[in-house]
Structure 1
Amino acid sequence: MDHWGEIEKLIEQRYAARLAERVTELDSAARKDVAARLPGLLKKLKGRFEESWDGALAPYATVLRVAGAATLGGAAAVASWLYRRDFAPQWDGPDNDVELILAVTADRPAAWRADLAERLVLRMRTGDDRGMPLALAMVRQTGIDPPRHDPLVVGWVQEVPPEPPYADPLIDTLLPRLFEAEGVGRALQWWRETDQGWLGALLKMAEAGRVGRESLIEGCVHRFLLGGSATDLRFFARLHEALAPAPEEVEPRVRDYVRLLAASPGPVAEAAVKHLRAQPALDPGHLAEIWDSLLFRPERKLVKAGLTWLDRAVRRDPALAGRIAAPLARAFAAESAELRERAVTLALAHVAAMGEQGRATVREAIPLLPAELGERAAAAFPGAEVAVEEAEPAPPPLPEPPPRATRLPAPIETAAEFAEVLAGERDWAAWERLLAGFVVLAHRDREALLAVLRGEMYRNHYARLHVYKQWDHADYWLMAAARTLDGASPVAGAWRDRLPRDRPIAPPALLLLHRVAEIHKAAEEGTLPPLLLATPTLSTGHVEAAELVRRLEVLEAAGVKPPAADLQQALLRLPRTPDPEAMARAGRLTSGAARIVAAWTCPEAEVSVRWHAPDECFEPEANAAPTGLPLVDLVLGKVRHHDVQGTHLAWWPATLPSHREVAAAHLLPYLLPSYWSPVLGDEVTRLVRAEGPVGSALALLLARMLADPRRPEEVEPVLELAARGELPAAELGRQLALLLRVGRVRMGELVTGLDTLAREGGHAQAWQATAAALPLLLPATGKRPRHGLAGLLALATTLATWCGARGEIPEVRDTAARAGSSDLVREARRLHALLTAPKEA
């Protein structure tokens, strides 16, 4: 057999190991011949697939890569061949043929292999690029000095760290680059144990003398000076502290450590402070720069450390007092009231020693202080201006709410109108019109309806409906019904076995699927009614009672019984207090459906949200007295965790427009967003405009939306409900506190949301929510407070002032009674004093 026939057969049979042996046995002319024939083989193999895409030849990737690496002439051609897009999709995992590629290129000239190694390195775009194992292996095999390419360093550190005797040849070359390559810190951020991973490996290498301890310290400081986020520098900060530099190791780099204080992430700055304070003597110029940097930091801990250091240093050496004015002046602008007061106290303590120039510097900064503290400082610095404290403007009243409901477009009457709605953007209301229009036109003008739908119902996935085991989308059923009317039913009796059964579907979605399955069944059996009962007339999803009765009259006159799911959905869409005259008309009809409507009384459902310990997850529950109507009882009496994407979720508020709390309970599993889950927005707005009691379920939805920093407009539904007098403000505050306790919202987001609500007119409701949240958030005796809690107390004081609120809150009283002068205690004392003060006459 000629060499090409054998090679082609090995490739087609995917015998990679045998192929590698065979191609290395070929002489130069035979290799050139194979290389010339490979493009034709690619075309032949691609022809076996219906269409081409990234990774189309993935089944043959290994053998094709081996063949090309062994036979193509230039290193550039081999590098391009190995990473053709049709060999593997972009997201494919690391190469699994490294040893084979190394074997078939081993007999190439050294210069050629060095060229290939460098090209492979430069092709890498990320540390986890699929070609990284081969690039590293080629660099090791050839012994080249690899190009300075950050992804290579990141890919190297993502390998298993070297162990004794640390023989990896890349250590000498790449280890110094560890401290400058972008992305290394993020790749190593998870190593925290000093006996594991790269952190432990570097410490052991330093201990064994494989790398210099001095070079590691120098590398860490150099990386800190390059800058970066806390995530970028976390590993290097851990390494630096694990090395525990002695004062004599820090002393040559004092200037660098001082430079780190101004803008480095908190952990790096804290480490720098610790090592600088361990220095036996620091230059006064360095001290002044240190204090100036620390007292300008946003972190309370660092500012406090700077004030303490400044005070002790000046008490030991009064000559330093001339250098403290500028740092203290910076601290006058600190966010923390405790730190501002401490800075003023230090300025007053050292006013005499700081000199005239220093006093002038402090005097200029006094207007930065609140009025009361500024007056205290001005008494010791004559001539200083004091800020005038402006009164907080009163918030506006609540805005007028928009109309609760608007009328939906009239029902579809013609095929042209059906086509227009079908071609447009289809929200839930448009789909309801399409369902109703389909049924009406199937009676009135079937051929025109089918002419509109033919282009749609045989296209894309609708043509494959017979393959799908479950039809979990309403449009599947509608197109299946249309194909049935067209004489091409995809599945006979689909309503028997195509409704979802293998995974949980939310009850509101299941009700919708039963409705569309009924339409398909009626189309197959030739029993389509002349119209549907449940098509809504209002934007909330309600069906006005008069219109529902008119539809019942049409069906009764035609002698047609309405589909069961359609009737049950219509009942759920009646207003809570339907028009009495219309209900009386229903009572005069004789059909069974009309009697059910006439006797209908909106059932009451109890909804609760239980929070579970220790995982602190929530579980909504609903319970209603059985009505005897199975689908009604299903949606009113069962809430369960459903499919992750929320099938037809936008329909759910309109499915239960008179039971918004039940609808909210069904939506709660989608409250905390994940990669797949939808983002709730319009659904909650429609719940706000629906009818029915409001409780913990809707309050929890509103709480999460109010504290969402990405969507500041989400205060609007809360304001609208407040303007209607229907907002459960205390329950809103309780749910906000519970979300914060489990880490689903942050304190800053909670405060911002409540502040926005108050300044848009809902100050009374914001106060009620805050007063309900504080008892759940204030720390018990001996417990550490949550970060930012002082800000919530400050907002509470403002809200209580606006509302004229009075009445002691025990948890606020207990916090105010704590020792100390922290911001939390200070703000608790302010709020407690206000709440217990007598009301002004």
Structure 2
Amino acid sequence: MNLVELVRAEDVDAVVRELARLTPDQRRAFLPGLKAIRKEIRDSRSWPPPDIRPVSIAGLGCHTSPSGAAGWIGGPGFGWSEVWRHPALLAVIESQPPEWQHEVVARLADRRTGAWWGEYRLLEHLVRTTGCPVPTTDAFVTQWLRDRSAGRRDRIAHLTGGVEGDYLWQRLSGDSFVPLLVPRLFEIADIGTELDRAWLDRPTGGGWPACLARLAGQGVLDRTELIDRCLARLVRGGRVSDQRFFLKVLQALAPTPQEYTARVRSCLALLGGLSTVAAHAQQVLGELDDAGLLAPGLLAEASATVLFRTEKKLVRAQLARLDKAAGRDPAQAGPLVLAAADAFGHPDQEVQERALKVTARHLASAGEAVLRQLREAAGALDPAHAGRAGELFGAEVRTEVYEELLPTVPQPRPVPGPLGSPAETAEELGAVLAGGDVPVAAFERVLDGLVRHAYRSRKDLTDALLPVLAAHPYERPGWEDCGPRDLLQVARAATSGHLKTGVLRRGVHTSPFGHLLAGRLEEAAGQIIARRTPFLLATPTSQTGALSAAVLVERLAGYEALDAPAGPADLAQALLRVRPTEDPEVLAAAGRLGSEAGRRTARWLRDGGLPRQPSTRVRFVPVEEPGLQPYEVHILREVAQTMVAQPGVVLDEPLAADAMHLLGPQTHSAARLFEYSRHLPTLHWLAALPGHREELAARALDCFAATERPGPGLLLPYLAEADGPAGLAVHLAVGYGLGARSPADRAAATDALLVLAARGDLDGGLLGRELGVLVPLGTVKPNRLLEALRALAAAGAYGTVWSVLAGALPGLLAGTPVRGAGDLLVLAADCARRSGARGAVAEVTEAAGRGGASRVVKAAKALRDVLADGR
């Protein structure tokens, strides 16, 4: 029997004997057969599974080069934990020269993905038996850490109340790898996340942190080096779980005050880190200060970092530390009082009050030299404290001069001219098919280029397209909406001369915008095949998707000169994109058009284009509906939203069916809401109706209202830059964006709000009133809204923010105020004071008159006073 037959017979001893008598060339000849057996075993579904030892040993023996052997060991599909101890396997390895073994170890240890558990055991065995250098690669160190942590006996004993809790310590205490590999764990990304496991952190053994501290105490590890590496790792930052582990290590090492004093700069750097890390550093610095080991000025330096943090617990503790230090040493009161004044600009009203009290207590010791700086800092105080600051610091206290800052109104950018050749069209098609965010102009120019150059010379276009199509065999999954990458199907039609039926996969997952695009692509493919269309009518002239009326009329005149028919889908999209005009020359030129498409366009321009639709507010609470799956009903059960209904457009001369479907009535159901939750709106949706913001927002509002899903809000700035009225639907879309879970979506919503304000299209009262409904419903979370509005205020749009909050506060304060209303009231008071707002708000006045000293009552009093006299 040959080697492959012996492997199939599962005769391990015979396999080893056969390997010993084969030459290297003969061994290599058996590799294809052994690889086939390995694949059979890997794909097997039999039980019990086939014995992997014979093929593992034979394959390792037949790989005569170290690289091949390392690849065999590291290949997928085997559990080396079952093989590595087998004497036959070890005999095969040990029969090779030491240099061969060393290189196999080095190659396996350098694998980027790291080794499997059994592979690591084999590597450790080879390292210890061959005397090769201990690998220090990330993969080897990671697997060593995992192996030492795998204390099953310890876990069982711990869970059953046993005393065998020192298993990790027992494995580490006599391990010669410890001094070499432990320093590397401070350099491996996210390793702390893996080592920070509850079952490794027990009273009897203490897990890795306690074990490392014990090893340092015994001199096995360098304590000084561990402290330095741990601090450096924490200063570097990282994931919460990773940082938590290294903080535990530092706490287990328990540096002395003298050791921390020598590293005080590292402690100061930690104050800007994660909350738990900053809290530890704050505690350490406080203890050093109490012991007289903190140099003068360092407490104030630390405060400059901590007092700008959002965690109120840290800020309050730092103010208490400044208060204590100033009382202990009045000679240092000046810099300490100025340090406390950094908290005057803190967004929390209570923090400002504490800072003002600390300043007041030590103002006499600080002396008049600090008054000028305190007056300047007082300009950031909440209006509720401005009067007290004036009494303390003198009449010269002035708040900063306010000027509403809004962005420059963005101007539409023109679309470059048509693509000049088949080669250029193919190149741009490749860029579109490569994926990512495809600009509207890029997509539209390629679509036009395919039609344009197929009309001129389909052979030249085909020759240019074939290499691109060979490189992009992409097929859109059936659950995706029709999008720019479906240009691939149009290009295939250009090269093959036909379009396969259903290739664009319209279905239940296709949005109305996707249907419109699919209809255009199908029609373009037909135009390419028929070669009767010289170019497209709907290609936009602006990056927003808008189309100049003059250009559309010129294109239609070109069609008439060539007796070319206009495609219904192309014409419909052109009419939905065309900008209304009153230019008499353009209207006269349109009136001279003689084709049916030309006369239709002339009437469209003369009548003002697409009729505007009224938006009606709808309170929408999904209910169980036929056809919904149980999990879909569960997802929607807690949703309550404000949506927009529109009656739909009725035209005497209907447009293409897909366009009329998009423009149809807007109604709401649980099925529609769940279906829209599958889609992310794109720029190509907006480019379908670039002059009709309100209609766009109404049709995409289900997507914008999915506030827990990241992505939809990113489109809001582009919606704000579109033309047309901005009514209820637009303001609701922005309102939902302000409450989005994703910070990027919230930032985009604030940008959209600023664009609307800069264009004079923002109705702050309308937006506020809608938020005053959405927040109590729970659809918009108040903490997210607060963060977004604070960002707007910080950008200088205080008047804009006040206009929104003025509309929202009645709804937020009605009955029992919503959670977070106090913070929103504080922001409202600041914005009202800075923007000079006046005029009582009944609900604010009523809240201010309630008894008690809750945050809502105190903040309402401050806002009431500002609106009364501007203080």
Asked if these proteins are the same fold (TM beyond 0.5), I'd say yes
- SS of aligned partner of 2:151: coil
TM-aligned CA distance change 1:62 to 1:781, over 3 Å: farther
Per-residue CA deviations over 1:776-798 (Å, capped at 9, x if unaligned) read: 77899798649xx8598357524
Cα distance, 1:504 vs. partner?
Answer: 1.5
Does the Cα contact within 8 Å between 2:117 and 2:143 map onto a contact in 1? yes
One-letter amino acid matched to 1:506: S
Does the Cα contact within 8 Å between 2:713 and 2:749 map onto a contact in 1? no
Does the Cα contact within 8 Å between 1:441 and 1:449 map onto a contact in 2? yes
Cα distance, 1:563 vs. partner?
Answer: 3.5
Show the counterpart of 1:725. 760
Show the counterpart of 1:604. 613
Cα distance, 1:231 vs. partner?
Answer: 4.3
Per-residue CA deviations over 1:70-121 (Å, capped at 9, x if unaligned) read: 3567xxx64x445559986xxxx89744534554542245995995796368
Cα distance, 1:598 vs. partner?
Answer: 4.1
Does the Cα contact within 8 Å between 2:539 and 2:574 map onto a contact in 1? yes
Show the counterpart of 2:90. 106
- SS of aligned partner of 2:685: helix
Identical residues among aligned pairs (%): 20
Show the counterpart of 1:135. 120
Q: Indicate which of 9, 22, 34 corresponds to 1:30.
A: 22
Q: TM (normalized to structure 2)?
A: 0.65
Cα distance, 1:501 vs. partner?
Answer: 3.3
Per-residue CA deviations over 1:565-592 (Å, capped at 9, x if unaligned) read: 2343244234568889959977997959
1:507 correspondence with 2:512: yes
Q: 1:728, 1:67 → 2: CA distance? A: 78
Q: Indicate which of 374, 393, 399 corresponds to 2:401.
A: 393
TM-aligned CA distance change 1:87 to 1:329, over 3 Å: same
Per-residue CA deviations over 1:791-830 (Å, capped at 9, x if unaligned) read: 98357524554354433263586379686698x8776544
Does the Cα contact within 8 Å between 1:94 and 1:130 map onto a contact in 2? no
Q: Indicate which of 479, 485, 491 corresponds to 2:491.
A: 479
Does the Cα contact within 8 Å between 2:451 and 2:534 map onto a contact in 1? yes
Cα distance, 1:131 vs. partner?
Answer: 4.8
Q: 1:342, 1:254 → 2: CA distance? A: 29
One-letter amino acid matched to 2:791: T
Show the counterpart of 2:573. 569
CA RMSD of aligned residues (A): 6.3
Show the counterpart of 1:810. 843
Q: 1:364, 1:782 → 2: CA distance? A: 40
TM-aligned CA distance change 1:743 to 1:781, over 3 Å: closer
Q: 2:848, 2:862 → 1: CA distance? A: 11
Cα distance, 1:234 vs. partner?
Answer: 1.7
Q: 2:810, 2:22 → 1: CA distance? A: 84
Does the Cα contact within 8 Å between 1:511 and 1:631 map onto a contact in 2? yes
Show the counterpart of 1:518. 523
1:162 correspondence with 2:151: yes
1:70 correspondence with 2:109: no
Show the counterpart of 2:657. 630
Show the counterpart of 1:833. 865
Q: 2:69, 2:710 → 1: CA distance? A: 35
Show the counterpart of 1:203. 202
Q: 1:270, 1:579 → 2: CA distance? A: 67
TM-aligned CA distance change 1:802 to 1:522, over 3 Å: closer
Residues 364-763 of structure 1 correspond to what in structure 2 (within 5 A)?
Answer: 369-370=377-378, 389=397, 391-395=399-403, 401=409, 423=427, 427-429=439-441, 431-432=443-444, 435=447, 446=455, 448-461=456-469, 473-483=485-495, 488-489=496-497, 492=498, 494=500, 496-501=501-506, 504-522=509-527, 524=529, 526=530, 528=532, 532-536=536-540, 540-543=544-547, 562-575=566-579, 582=587, 591=596, 594=599, 598=603, 602=611, 604=613, 606=615, 623-625=646-648, 627=650, 630-637=657-664, 641=675, 649-664=682-697, 669=703, 680=714, 684-685=717-718, 688-697=721-730, 700=733, 704=737, 718-730=753-765, 741-742=780-781, 747-748=786-787, 750-756=789-795, 758=797
Cα distance, 1:726 vs. partner?
Answer: 1.8
Does the Cα contact within 8 Å between 1:816 and 1:832 map onto a contact in 2? no
Q: 2:788, 2:491 → 1: CA distance? A: 46
Does the Cα contact within 8 Å between 2:341 and 2:355 map onto a contact in 1? yes
Q: TM (normalized to structure 1)?
A: 0.67
Q: Indicate which of 732, 747, 769 corresponds to 2:804.
A: 769
TM-aligned CA distance change 1:542 to 1:179, over 3 Å: closer
Q: 1:775, 1:450 → 2: CA distance? A: 65
Per-residue CA deviations over 1:153-195 (Å, capped at 9, x if unaligned) read: 544555775232565674434889779822789445489xxxx
Does the Cα contact within 8 Å between 1:587 and 1:595 map onto a contact in 2? no
Show the counterpart of 2:110. 123
- SS of aligned partner of 1:658: coil
Does the Cα contact within 8 Å between 1:605 and 1:636 map onto a contact in 2? no
Per-residue CA deviations over 1:491-525 (Å, capped at 9, x if unaligned) read: x562x32231356123223212212212333555x
TM-aligned CA distance change 1:450 to 1:345, over 3 Å: closer
Q: Indicate which of 171, 180, 185 corresponds to 1:181.
A: 185
- SS of aligned partner of 1:624: coil
One-letter amino acid matched to 2:863: L
Q: 1:140, 1:767 → 2: CA distance? A: 70
Cα distance, 1:330 vs. partner?
Answer: 3.3
One-letter amino acid matched to 2:61: A
Extract unaligned runs of 5+ from structure 1: 46-60, 192-196, 244-248
Q: 2:390, 2:840 → 1: CA distance? A: 36
Does the Cα contact within 8 Å between 1:23 and 1:71 map onto a contact in 2? no
Q: 1:586, 1:795 → 2: CA distance? A: 55
- SS of aligned partner of 1:814: helix
Cα distance, 1:450 vs. partner?
Answer: 1.8
Q: 2:751, 2:474 → 1: CA distance? A: 45
Q: Indicate which of 304, 329, 354 corresponds to 2:316.
A: 304
TM-aligned CA distance change 1:802 to 1:278, over 3 Å: closer
User: Which deviates the most, 554-563 or 513-522?
Assistant: 554-563
Per-residue CA deviations over 1:514-569 (Å, capped at 9, x if unaligned) read: 12212333555x48456655444565544566776777788789887643323432
TM-aligned CA distance change 1:784 to 1:527, over 3 Å: closer
TM-aligned CA distance change 1:653 to 1:833, over 3 Å: same
Show the counterpart of 1:234. 244
Q: 1:666, 1:504 → 2: CA distance? A: 15
One-letter amino acid matched to 1:99: E
Does the Cα contact within 8 Å between 1:576 and 1:692 map onto a contact in 2? no
Cα distance, 1:601 vs. partner?
Answer: 5.6
TM-aligned CA distance change 1:407 to 1:150, over 3 Å: closer
Q: 2:101, 2:450 → 1: CA distance? A: 70
Does the Cα contact within 8 Å between 1:542 and 1:574 map onto a contact in 2? yes
Q: 1:518, 1:205 → 2: CA distance? A: 74
Show the counterpart of 1:55. none
Show the counterpart of 1:57. none
One-letter amino acid matched to 2:567: P
TM-aligned CA distance change 1:261 to 1:545, over 3 Å: closer
TM-aligned CA distance change 1:469 to 1:774, over 3 Å: closer
Cα distance, 1:203 vs. partner?
Answer: 0.7
TM-aligned CA distance change 1:459 to 1:274, over 3 Å: closer
